[in-house]
Amino acid sequence: MSTEHFDAVEIIGIKRDRGTLSPEQIDWTIDAYTRGVIAEEQMAALNMAILLNGMDRAEISRWTTAMINSGERMDFSSLRTPAGAVKPTADKHSTGGVGDKITLPLAPLVAAFGVAVPQLSGRGLGHTGGTLDKLESIPGWNASLSTAALMDQLSECGAVICAAGTGLAPADKKLYALRDVTGTVEAIPLIASSIMSKKIAEGTGTLVLDVKVGSGAFMKNEQDARELARTMVGLGTDAGVKTVALLTNMATPLGLTAGNAIEVAESVDVLAGGGPADVVELTVKLAQEMLAGAGVHDADPAAALADGRAMDVWHKMISAQGGDPAAALPVARESETVYAQAEGVLTELDALSVGVAAWRLGAGRARRQDEVQAGAGVRLHAKPGDVVRRGQPLMTLLTDTPEKFGRALEALESAAVISAEGSRNGQRLILERIAE
Ligand code: URA
């Protein structure tokens, strides 16, 4: 006789009929799925019922806690300030976009103010790049750290960007793989609980969410992005993590690069006090939010970029993981230029098209096991709001494998819109701030 407290068909029926699951039913569902008692096809049906009918705040919160409880939690309370107090921790999560290299300058920048930044990151899949893939273009840099090495690095240089261990929210790993092949990735309760279970298990005190909106993002419109942001802020708050979200524009790529080594180089420009205005603006804004959450209110992050304090932390952080911050970065063997077809103002440069082109050039992977090319990607020579002349270079495509140019160029066919009458204001970057 079964000793299970519930059965999967009953749980599926409740969500199919727009009912509410009890805390006990949710705990059992996540636990039974992790143990293999709920079959894949049953969980797929439940995910689809959740996608169609939603979950309320209490259900999403309990679902997230159950996923956290499926694995280990990290604890940074042993980190101390020079005065012996518990060191504040702050982390940022981006829902992913094209040219989104912000973690690279942001982690050392925030650490320069005495806040510890444990930035556990992932690899890219599809058209959005992965932070670890970018950093791995630095000769010698190692993404995998033991927990002891991570703690040592946090106490010595204040910032670490490394691969998230497999022990955090293992239920999410299994569930995400199933959602990926059953058309249920897009359910907002499931996205929010997936992201937040990993971030809460990571043990940060403050979390700033960068929820991207637009063609290059997961969320294509502001309404869905706002709902996702509100749900995640609610989950963080319920779990005792100081959480705020910014909705930011991903209609066009961030900065002037989408790839791996070229994004590292652009990040180093920002750390040297230069770099594209949009990358600087978002880095500084996110740093202010992280520092305020961690209790540092009088900080001037722009000054720490200009005077080299953030760069000093970057050098330490890269060297601590075996990387050589002074080494030349890999360069793609082949390049091809795309020229402006008309005269006027560049009003659109579509993020998704550029992301897909960079991916097809070899900067991203189609399957988890694929290798990425360090030098591949797209370099932009103009951004929305810029005046362009006919025949001026708009983008340079970079790859080691020139047979990839054709498919990348196809992706870019209607990426750029040039208008005689266009506005020169460009596009607004930070759209909204969401907090409770
Ligand atoms: N990223 C995650 O970690 N989970 C999701 O469900 C979607 C994006």
SS3 assignment for 146-165: CHHHHHHHHHHHCEEEEECC
Phi-psi category of residue 328: left, alpha or beta, with phi > 0 → left and psi -120 to 50 → alpha: beta
Q: Mark whether 368 is an active-site residue.
A: no
Ligand 1: residue of 172, 194, 198, 211 to mutate (most ligand atoms within 8 A of CB) is 194
Q: What is the pLDDT of residue 125?
A: 65
As a whole number of angstroms, the distance between CA 405 and CA 358 comes to 10
- pLDDT beneath 70: ranges in the chain: 1-2, 125
Q: What is the pLDDT of residue 334?
A: 98
Edge to edge, the sheet with strand 387-388 lists 387-388, 344-349, 416-419
Q: What is the pLDDT of residue 123?
A: 79
Residues 234, 436: contact at Cβ < 8 Å?
yes
Residues 46, 12: contact at Cβ < 8 Å?
yes
Nearest CA to ligand 1 atom 5: 191
Instruction: Return the structure tokens found at 238.
Output: 């319920």
Please give the domain boundaries of the chain with CATH numbers for all domains: 8-68 (1.20.970.10), 90-165+179-320 (3.40.1030.10), 334-419 (3.90.1170.30)
- Residue 382 in contact with ligand 1 by CB distance below 6 A: no
Determine the atom of ligand 1 nearest the C-alpha atom of 190.
6
What spacing in Å lies between the alpha carbon of 179 and ligand 1's midpoint? 10
As a whole number of angstroms, the distance between CA 85 and CA 363 comes to 43
Residues 276, 150: contact at Cβ < 8 Å?
no
Which residues are within 8 A (CB) of 350 and not within 5 positions of it... i.e. 6 or more apart? Answer: 215, 216, 251, 252, 414, 415, 416
Q: What is the pLDDT of residue 57?
A: 96
Strand 90-94 and strand 206-213: the pairing is: parallel
Helix axes 188-201, 170-180, angle to 10 degrees: 150
Determine the atom of ligand 1 nearest the C-alpha atom of 185.
6
As a whole number of angstroms, the distance between CA 128 and CA 94 comes to 11
What spacing in Å lies between the alpha carbon of 396 and ligand 1's midpoint? 31
Cα dihedral 33, 56, 217, 95, rounded to 10, equals -70
Residue 243 sits at φ, ψ, to 5 deg, of -125, 130
Nearest CA to ligand 1 atom 3: 195
What spacing in Å lies between the alpha carbon of 198 and ligand 1's midpoint? 10
- Residue 184 in contact with ligand 1 by CB distance below 6 A: no
Instruction: Return the structure tokens found at 210.
Output: 């960068």
The burial class, CB within 10 Å (0-12 / 13-18 / 19+), for 261 is buried
- Residue 194 in contact with ligand 1 by CB distance below 6 A: yes
Q: What is the pLDDT of residue 424?
A: 75
Which residues are within 8 A (CB) of 152 and not within 5 positions of it... i.e. 6 or more apart? Answer: none
- Residue 193 in contact with ligand 1 by CB distance below 6 A: no
Residue 416 sits at φ, ψ, to 5 deg, of -105, 130
- Residue 169 in contact with ligand 1 by CB distance below 6 A: no
pTM attached to this predicted model = 0.96
**Residue of 194, 197, 215, 353 marked active site:** 194
Q: What is the pLDDT of residue 407?
A: 98
With vertex at residue 190, the alpha carbon angle to CA 201 and CA 187, rounded to the nearest 5 degrees, is 155
As a whole number of angstroms, the distance between CA 135 and CA 160 comes to 12
Q: What is the pLDDT of residue 1?
A: 53
As a whole number of angstroms, the distance between CA 393 and CA 336 comes to 10
Q: Mark whether 198 is an active-site residue.
A: yes
Report CA-CA distances (Å) from 204 to 233, 385, 424: 14, 38, 40
